[in-house]
Chain A
């Protein structure tokens, strides 16, 4: 069974930094692309970032480009999102998402999410 467990969320001041983690199990993590999707409280879904299985390819939404860095440690089956220069509009639940197929880039399995609050 695929399990994705996010951690690292919390309250941070504007301009601050935070690193999210996503621990994966139940599939061959190193062969799967992984994604981060966020949802501001009471709002819709926004695609944030993605990384290929070997870490060689990455994607960032324009809203986070230059401020967020996605990475992964395949030996630990863990996905990361390093967030810096945080803004109040980055306040959201951040979901770790994986495809069902190792050859795909789909958004199939979702973690429970971790809440990031950017406020002074």
Chain B
């Protein structure tokens, strides 16, 4: 059981915009920032969004993040087949004094 809650799956057609939600609490997302990771099968997770909405160098601006209260969202616009991957949210938890993750969302491009 993951501390952060994500939908297990999401889907869209090429060109569409999809969003993935991440729900937390007053001990994690509420007071802290959120990161998003992208993971392709057989590879390590890669940082996609940090500090709620910041993209590391090299990440296309089709990917955007936002946070409101104890929830966060990842939006992918202009969906491409190459975006098919698992997406994880993460945040620091003040009660646990450690990082906590969502269970991951498998994105399918139809």
Contacts and interface: CB of A to CB of B under 8 A. Distances in A.
Interface string A44-73: 111100100000000101000000000000
Interface of B: 2, 35, 37, 43-47, 50, 56, 88, 90, 92, 97-104
A59 B98 contact: yes
B92 A110 contact: no
Interface residues of A, number: 20
A113 B104 contact: no
Interface in A59-102: 59, 61, 95, 100
Nearest to A60: B98
A46 B44 contact: no
Contact of B50 (A105, A108, A111): A108
Contact of B45 (A47, A59, A61, A110): A110
A59 B100 CA distance: 13
